Amino acid sequence: MISSLGKKPNYHILNYPTHFQQVKVLARTAQNSQCALFSSLENLRGEEMKREIKEVIGAALHRLKSRGAAYGEVRYVTSRWERFLVKNGVLQTASQGEDGGFGLRVIHRGAWGFSSTPGEEEEALVRAADLALSVAEAASRLNREPVTLAECYPHVDTFQGVCAEDPFAVPLGEKIDLLVRATEALKSPQTVQAMGVLTSLRVDKVFATTEGAHIEQRFTETGGGITCTVVEGGEVQCRSFPTGHGGDFAQRGYEFIREMGLVEAAPRVREEALALLKAPPVPGGEWDVILEGSQMCLQVHESCGHPIELDRVYGDEISLAGGSFLTPEKRGNFRYGSPLVHIVADATIPGGLGTFGYDDEGVRATRTPIIKEGRFVDYLTSRETAARLGEASNGCMRAESWNRIPLIRMVNLNLEPGGKGAPSLEELIADTRRGLYIVTNKSWSIDDLRLHFQFGCEAAWEIRDGRLGILYKNPVYSGITPRFWGSLDAVCGIEEWRMWGLPNCGKGIPMQTAHVGHGAAPARFRGVTVRGA
Amino acid sequence: MLGADRALTLLEGILKAAPSAVRVEVTLRAQDGGYTRFARSRVHQSAEESDARVSLRVGLGEQVGIASTNRLDKSSLKVCMEGALRAAEASPPVLALGPQAPPRPIPPLELFDEETAAWGPLERVETLRGIFETKNAGPGGAGATFAGAISTGKEEQVTVNSAGLRAYLAGTYAEVSLIAEGEAEGDYTPSGYASAASRKVGHLDLLGLGERALKKCRLAVHPKALPAGVYPVLLEPPALAEILQWLCYIGLGAQAHLDGRGFMSGRIGEEITGTSFSLWDDGGDPSGFSIPFDFEGNPKCRVSLIEKGVARGVAMDSAQAKRAGGASTGHAVSFDLSAESSPRNLFVAEGEASFEDLPTTLDRGLWVSRFHYVNGYLHPPTCLMTGMTRDGTFWVEDGKVRHAVHNLRFTQGMLEAFRGIRAISKERWCLGSRGEWGPYCVAPAVVLDAFCFTGGTPSSS
């Protein structure tokens, strides 16, 4: 059942950004045979194929309607990727792949049903439509309350993310050479793993519904990083750049990789890793802590991003990922943190890993305030969960691929930079009498309500009388989400603020990996519990 | 499902299309199944899916290219092969490519079950109806609801190579995870957990699992706070399995071990845990989730990882075996030479105690049903891990459960913890991994002398 909530398209969201435009970037196409491992969708299939896809989608939607589905949607998703990994100056992997298929989601007899097929023929789609209906029919035997969706304007539109330099058009040799040079510079007698990785991804999506929506989108992502692991006398330490766990990612072209400066950063990364072998463990106790930007990114992700997913709040993810302490009565009145905490969910920022034109329910991308001056004001929602609040969705449903059901996922969840007069990192350190500057995530853990977290990081420098001093190894800090954010007393300004990309946010059964972004600047927290691992 | 003849014909076609001097390995993995997810005793996601993916690795001497596709038509497979060849041609030597898996007989394992293959959304839903009605089976169940997932389906793997290997398997799977949830008590909701996996759905006592989860949920009401500290602890199989999963990530695969980063690096032959602890991987044991060969087509060997407390070995693919100067143990997870091979079919040796008697080994201690969000990257050399308890944590005194406790965070070196094994149950549960990334695990419950809890979950207010 589709609810009749609201009669207007969902333009009610605040501050609809002026920079939300279809970004028209003429990317170089993958014509060079040395570069193009797989032909791109349009090269391989052309406009005729696109028309055929549109026709089979139309046939599937017609089938759903004619068999009485209350709602139906078809997603056609194709993707291609490349991955290069070099270890100790030697190539380990030059791999690439492609993937494609259709996902069909229906509401029938009051229940959801989903089926997927890699086949592109009309018969395969019609079979998948029938299967989705029978899946829903089975579920309806058990469900007493019918599914209700918030209304959504049926957009007909296209969107293309930013990509100045097509990563698939860059010669393989150039990419591999970059990693070879970077990892060579990480080598030392103690280095056991000098690793560099580069990844490129292109996703094309067609989305259409029985309500009349038809949306075509293209996204290009690139990412990578380097890690230096050193061993001496049974001690193992590592430093990573720009961040850990495979590096940093963005919805941009190869220009993002060029701007990283992997080769230039490598000697510093190596020296810091070696220095950690001799460093003492961080002294345990209560410290004033400055977290650098990439660790702030993960702090926001785990302790702010997941608890605001409304499907978690309603218990849909309890069996694996857990629930949330942010129960509905807290919305609008819960003190999440200090007045300096401003968090927005913004799917409209060009280049963010969580940026899109429309989510996987056809809801147009929004910029939604989540925490205003430390007060919790909104959730990330879907059409189904928003209907329970009597509102329109703010567009956060995404599926990992064509064969997965969309779930509520973070978009770009950003801690806004400090306002006028906010300090630079240098000024923030200078303003700290005794503290720790903690950098680069190594481990993460948080309870099933997203309250009690613990993060381990690669390194920490003591701050004494406003200056960086001793390097410590294995810093681990922990806290309780609202108390921790309540101790925030400074966020660096816009000059220090940047987007980070996480390509590995896990959720759901089967596990789905989402690509999400987080804007963050270094920030200071008072009286944080720290221990050495 | 393609079936053996069609699948082998398809892959042989790929081999024939390759230039004659090129080394080619091809693996197809196909899945045809579905899952039903539920929460608050209501189905909220239900799906049927089918897909098949071809991965291929080509070698031009030591230049290697890898490509994959889920488009199985001739022209797409040709594009895939051309992509792999171009990648190889443009690449410097990888140095690490091991030998191709030779042709050999595949061990006969009963992987396919007709009943499981026939299950669809209706069977899953009707089973759930029975589980949901468990709440009316006894006192104290009123208000309890169930959340979780049931997955059932069929899968195929076919691996061929230019050395003559032709290997095919078809299997079925059934896996369930269940949480029973009671009435919320502020930020705390009492809950109980049960899970199981098998190749045969008939081997899963689905209603019994529902009852087990509900029984635990009833016990978990009215928790008390417990201060941080070191306590003896009883870990149920799901809690132990999550620890073992992280041991796989940080040191039971050959990559970390050979780099010197793993917790067993340089310690093979050394006693690293208590002598009652033995851990091995065995893809051929039908009491687990058996599978006869790995992604490269090498047979899955039984690998003793830790035997009576002594570090014995690690899981290897062909590239790591070449580096180590040995043979593949059959643990390749992809053609990617950078991929960490890992145990996928873990077994922990059973003990002599019955599960019911395990609490009697605790004068004072904690009973942990399950962990949440464990992370083992804190300090891999000592297997220092952190995580939270969930779905039923209890205080035991004089061998009896006295009350539930609020969830606790542990931060504990696991090798140290396993040096103090007090008891191991003779019962073991086969636990799955389809919803996550870990190995299948046949694990008992264990009682450990000391486990360090570093904090608890308080109220959010």
Residues contacting residue B170 through CB under 8 Å, at least 6 positions apart:
B1, B3, B4, B111, B112, B154, B155, B156
What gap in Å lies between CA B405 and CA A360, rounded to an integer? 41
What is the pLDDT at residue A319? 87
Q: How confident is the model at residue B21 (pLDDT cuts 50, 70, 90)?
A: confident
Closest CA to A320 of B439, B179, B198: B179
pLDDT at A314 > cutoff 50: yes
Q: How confident is the model at residue B449 (pLDDT cuts 50, 70, 90)?
A: very high
Residue of B nearest to A138 (CA): B122
Interval B176-184 mean pLDDT: 93
Q: Are B249 and B401 in contact (CB under 8 A)?
A: no
Q: Which of B94, B266, B384 has its CB closest to that of A533?
A: B384
Question: Touching check for A49 and chain B: CB below 8 Å?
Answer: no
Contacts 24+ apart (CB under 8 A), B358-361: B358/B234, B358/B423, B358/B425, B358/B445, B358/B447, B359/B234, B359/B396, B359/B399, B359/B400, B359/B401, B360/B399, B361/B234, B361/B399, B361/B422, B361/B423, B361/B447
What is the pLDDT at residue B437? 61
The mean-pLDDT minimum among A429-433, B88-92, B368-372 falls in: B88-92
Q: What is the DSSP string of B211-280?
A: HHHHHHHHHT-S-B---SEEEEEEE-HHHHHHHHHHHIIIIIBHHHHHHT-STTTT-TTSB-S-TT--EE
Question: Touching check for A93 and chain B: CB below 8 Å?
Answer: yes
pLDDT at A49 > cutoff 90: no
What gap in Å lies between CA A77 and CA A80, rounded to an integer? 10
What is the pLDDT at residue A44? 44
HSE, side-chain direction, 13 A CA sphere, residue B150: 27
Contact (CB<8Å) B460/A451:
yes
Instruction: Name the percent of chain B lying above pLDDT 90.
Output: 88
Give helix A122-140 / helix A41-66 axis angle, nearest 10°: 50
Residue of B nearest to A104 (CA): B47
Q: Which two tokens stand for residue B456?
A: 């608890």
A positions 113-172 inside 8 Å of B (CB): 113-118, 131-132, 134-136, 138-139, 141-145, 171-172
Rg (CA), chain B: 24
Of the two residues B132 and A417, the one the predictor is more confident about is A417
Give helix A122-140 / helix B121-132 axis angle, nearest 10°: 10
Place of tokens 């406790």: B405
Interval A53-60 mean pLDDT: 96
What gap in Å lies between CA B441 and CA B324, rounded to an integer? 26
Q: What is the 3 state secondary structure string of A343-370? A: EEEECCCCCCCCCCCECCCCCECCEEEE
Place of tokens 């009963």: B110
The mean-pLDDT minimum among A47-61, A108-122, B2-16, B384-398 falls in: A47-61
B positions 130-159 inside 8 Å of A (CB): 132, 147-149, 151
pLDDT at A15 > cutoff 60: no
Instruction: Give the ipTM of the model, two decimals please.
Output: 0.94
Residues contacting residue A461 through CB under 8 Å, at least 6 positions apart:
A436, A437, A439, A468, A469, A470, A471, A472
Interval A19-38 mean pLDDT: 32
Helices (H) then strands (E): counts for chain B: 9, 17
HSE, side-chain direction, 13 A CA sphere, residue A250: 24
Q: How confident is the model at residue A321 (pLDDT cuts 50, 70, 90)?
A: confident
Q: Which two tokens stand for residue B350?
A: 């059973």
Q: What is the 3 state secondary structure string of A435-486? A: EEEEEEEEEEEECCCCCEEEEEEEEEEEEECCEEEEEEECEEEEEEHHHHHH
Closest CA to A525 of A355, A341, A398, A388: A341
What is the pLDDT at residue B458? 61
Interval A284-302 mean pLDDT: 97
Q: What is the pTM of this model?
A: 0.93
What integer best gives the mean pLDDT of chain A? 91
What integer best gives the mean pLDDT of chain B? 93
A242 cis-preceded (ω within 30 degrees of 0): yes
Contact (CB<8Å) B125/A141:
yes
Of the two residues B458 and A28, the one the predictor is more confident about is B458
Q: Could you tell me if residue A365 is left (phi over 0), alpha (psi between -120 and 50 degrees) or otherwise beta? A: beta
pLDDT at A350 > cutoff 50: yes
Q: Which of B91, B381, B457 has its CB closest to that of A94?
A: B91
Interval A427-449 mean pLDDT: 97
SS3 B304: strand
The maximal CA–CA distance of chain B, rounded, in angstroms, is 72
The mean-pLDDT minimum among A145-149, A349-353, B183-187 falls in: B183-187
What is the pLDDT at residue B227? 94
What is the pLDDT at residue A5? 35
Q: Could you tell me if residue B186 is left (phi over 0), alpha (psi between -120 and 50 degrees) or otherwise beta? A: left
Length of chain A in terms of residues written: 533
Instruction: Name the percent of chain A lying above pLDDT 90.
Output: 88
Contact (CB<8Å) B381/A235:
yes
Q: Which residues pair with A414 in a beta bridge?
A: A344
Interval A19-45 mean pLDDT: 35
Q: How confident is the model at residue A37 (pLDDT cuts 50, 70, 90)?
A: very low
What is the pLDDT at residue B136? 55
Q: What angle do CA A318, A324, A329 make, to 5 degrees?
A: 125
What gap in Å lies between CA A336 and CA A329, rounded to an integer? 13
What is the pLDDT at residue A136? 98
**DSSP type of residue B353:** B
Question: Touching check for B189 and chain A: CB below 8 Å?
Answer: yes
Q: How confident is the model at residue B187 (pLDDT cuts 50, 70, 90)?
A: confident
Of the two residues A518 and A120, the one the predictor is more confident about is A518
Instruction: Express each pLDDT in B155-171 by its tens digit.
Output: 999 999 999 999 999 99
Report, in this order, helix, strand and coil percent for chain A, each rounded to 5. 25, 40, 40
Query: Distance from A331 to chain B by nearest Cα, in Å?
Result: 14
Interval A227-254 mean pLDDT: 96
pLDDT at A26 > cutoff 80: no
Q: Which two tokens stand for residue A490?
A: 């400074």
Q: Is A8 exposed, middle or buried (0-12, 13-18, 19+ CB in 10 A)?
A: exposed
Residue of B29, B31, B42, B209 to mutate for A, most A C-beta atoms under 10 A? B42
pLDDT at B109 > cutoff 50: yes
Residue of B nearest to A407 (CA): B45
Contact (CB<8Å) B46/A34:
no
SS3 A421: coil
Q: Which two tokens stand for residue A7?
A: 């009669």
What is the pLDDT at residue B135? 61
Tell me the torsion sign for CA atoms A174, A175, A180, A182.
positive
Q: Which two tokens stand for residue B168?
A: 């095919």
Of the two residues A1 and A407, the one the predictor is more confident about is A407
What gap in Å lies between CA A182 and CA A196, rounded to an integer? 7
SS3 B40: coil
Contact (CB<8Å) A446/B384:
no
What gap in Å lies between CA B108 and CA A434, rounded to an integer? 66
Q: Are B255 and B359 in contact (CB under 8 A)?
A: no
What is the pLDDT at residue B106? 87
SS3 A99: strand
Closest CA to A326 of B413, B15, B187: B187
Instruction: Express each pLDDT in B37-62 by its tens digit.
Output: 999 999 999 999 999 999 999 999 99
Contact (CB<8Å) B388/A448:
yes
**DSSP type of residue B185:** B
Residues contacting residue B212 through CB under 8 Å, at least 6 positions apart:
B192, B194
Contact (CB<8Å) A510/B435:
yes
What gap in Å lies between CA B91 and CA B86, rounded to an integer? 9
Q: How confident is the model at residue A306 (pLDDT cuts 50, 70, 90)?
A: very high
Instruction: Express each pLDDT in B401-439 by its tens digit.
Output: 999 999 999 999 999 999 999 999 999 999 987 555 678
Residue of A nearest to B264 (CA): A234
Query: Distance from B105 to chain A by nearest Cα, in Å?
Result: 30
Q: Which two tokens stand for residue B459?
A: 């109220």
Contact (CB<8Å) A315/B181:
yes
Of the two residues A327 and A32, the one the predictor is more confident about is A327
φ, ψ for residue A341 (rounded to 5)? -85, 110
Q: Are B188 and B403 in contact (CB under 8 A)?
A: no
Interval B62-78 mean pLDDT: 94
Place of tokens 């997870």: B333
The mean-pLDDT minimum among A114-118, A218-222, B58-62 falls in: B58-62
pLDDT at A7 > cutoff 90: no
Q: What is the DSSP string of A296-329?
A: HHHHHIIIIIGGGBHHHHTTTTTTTT---S--GG
What gap in Å lies between CA A404 and CA A514, rounded to an integer? 11
Tell me the torsion sign for CA atoms A160, A166, A172, A175.
negative
**DSSP type of residue B360:** G
Query: Distance from A125 to chain B by nearest Cα, in Å?
Result: 12
Question: Touching check for B335 and chain A: CB below 8 Å?
Answer: yes
* Neighbouring C-beta atoms of residue B454, cutoff 10 Å: 19
What is the pLDDT at residue B364? 97
Question: Touching check for A190 and chain B: CB below 8 Å?
Answer: no
Query: Distance from A20 to chain B by nearest Cα, in Å?
Result: 32
Q: Which of A94, A509, A511 has its CB closest to that of B65?
A: A94
What is the pLDDT at residue B459? 53
Q: Is B366 exposed, middle or buried (0-12, 13-18, 19+ CB in 10 A)?
A: buried
Q: Position B130: which residue type?
A: G
Q: Please state the separation of Cα A48 from the chain's center in Å.
A: 33
Q: Are B161 and B100 in contact (CB under 8 A)?
A: yes
